[in-house]
Amino acid sequence: MSVPNFLAKQKKADLAELAESLGLSHEGLKKTELEVELEDYLTKNKSQYLNDTRFSSFYNKRRSESSPVKKEASSVLSEIENTTKAIRRRVTKAADELFATDDSEVEPATTRARSALTRTPGRGSALSNLSFASNVPLPPSPAVIADAVDRRTAVIRSKISDAYEESGIIETAQATRETLSTVTAVHALISAFELYFLRKEVLADRYAFTIPAIKYISNSEHAVKIPDLFLLLTSSFWGPATLWAFTTIFAPLFAAYFFNLTSKPRSRSHTSHFNYTFDPLTFNIAKALLVYLVFGKDVTFGGLVDLEYVARINSALYGSWPGVLVGTGIGGLVTVYEAIIKK
């Protein structure tokens, strides 16, 4: 509540003199407290001092303040403020009395009095609390957090996708797929599978060196073996290798070249063109027939085939000679499947 200019403009000595003339005690009061005391006293005794020329400015100012509704509200606020100020005055006097006591008692008592004064409710403190609360940053809502997570996830996904595309994995995978999606590739893989097991028989592994144990990874010693390339100079390698190559590759290719069922007549010409230089179906039929006769029935073709080599090859190949027949069956099915698709 604001103090009228009539009281606020006067000095403390003039206010003290005015209080003495009105019979009010002003001992130990500050200027602002003295202004409040005079204002309260003059307001309550308006009928007595309304015609006093000394207080005409005070009452004229009070008369022109506001409407009746606002006056009623201001009177309520005035009573609240008067109560608050009376509490403050009592706390202040109690603090002053405590200041005059022994030093050992001053500190805790003064602290309690000042904290009580600080905690005294008022409109100013309430407004400051509201202002402080409005400035406190609140945590984001779940929707904001979810939106931020979605944006971050999209950025990470985009970076991973860009890195994946720049690595060339897609192009390499597509090129590998095109290479393997042919009949020729299937037959090459079947032959490579057979050769992998035959290699250990014709080029036996020999000890080279030992990798010592490493205690940090708790592994044991490992003996490294490599193919014995000196066997390339002996018949122990060339005998079985030549027999396998002839029965599974060269002789079937010869038959596939001359018995090529993939030929088609050219238009306006008596010549024919071939979809394959070597008929894959004929290749598999000739291979299956030779493997069955040589490795299954021990046919030597007049002593051209050494049965010792036949036994070594049978012991080396996966599944022996029936395993080779399974490979020819797979090759034949792939050939027929491709022919059906092209039609």
Residues 80-96 have a mean pLDDT of: 63
Closest alpha carbon to 318 in 193, 218, 222, 172 = 193
Residue that is written with structure tokens 């001053």 in the block = 106
User: β-strands 263-265, 222-227: how paired?
Assistant: unpaired
Closest alpha carbon to 255 in 227, 230, 280, 226 = 280
With a pLDDT cut of 90, the percent of the chain lying above it is: 32
Whether residue 90 is found in the same domain as residue 218: no
Q: What is the pLDDT of residue 138?
A: 61
- Residue partners of 50: CB distance under 8 A and separation at least 6: 59
> Is the backbone of residue 271 left (phi > 0), alpha (psi -120 to 50) or beta?
beta
Q: What is the pLDDT of residue 141?
A: 75
State pLDDT tens for residues 214-247.
Answer: 877 777 888 888 888 888 999 999 999 999 999 9
Buried b (16+ CB within 10 A) or exposed e, 294-303: bbbeeeeeee
C-alpha 120: how far from chain center = 51
Whether residue 294 is found in the same domain as residue 269: yes
- Residue partners of 61: CB distance under 8 A and separation at least 6: 4, 5, 6
Whether residue 10 is found in the same domain as residue 129: yes
Whether residue 193 is found in the same domain as residue 314: yes
Burial tier of 38 (Cβ tally within 10 Å: 0-12, 13-18, 19+): buried
Q: What is the pLDDT of residue 309?
A: 94
Please give the tally of structural domains in the chain: 3
Domain coverage including residue 174: 143-181
Closest alpha carbon to 45 in 70, 21, 15 = 21
Say what the pTM is.
Answer: 0.51
Whether residue 164 is found in the same domain as residue 225: no
Higher pLDDT, 34 or 318: 318
Whether residue 45 is found in the same domain as residue 91: yes
Whether residue 303 is found in the same domain as residue 194: yes
Given a cut of 50, whether residue 101 has pLDDT beyond it is no
pLDDT band for position 89 (cuts 50, 70, 90)? low
Distance from C-alpha of 156 to C-alpha of 154, rounded to nearest angstrom: 6
Q: What is the pLDDT of residue 74?
A: 54
Q: What is the pLDDT of residue 3?
A: 54
Higher pLDDT, 50 or 64: 50
Distance from C-alpha of 85 to C-alpha of 37, rounded to nearest angstrom: 10
Q: What is the pLDDT of residue 41?
A: 82
The mean of the pLDDT values for the chain is 78
Residues 271-294 have a mean pLDDT of: 90
- Residue partners of 329: CB distance under 8 A and separation at least 6: 284, 288
Whether residue 256 is found in the same domain as residue 161: no
Whether residue 164 is found in the same domain as residue 209: no
| Residue 239 amino acid letter | G
Whether residue 335 is found in the same domain as residue 187: yes
Whether residue 229 is found in the same domain as residue 103: no
State pLDDT tens for residues 184-195.
Answer: 999 999 999 999
C-alpha 91: how far from chain center = 59
Closest alpha carbon to 59 in 130, 6, 129 = 6
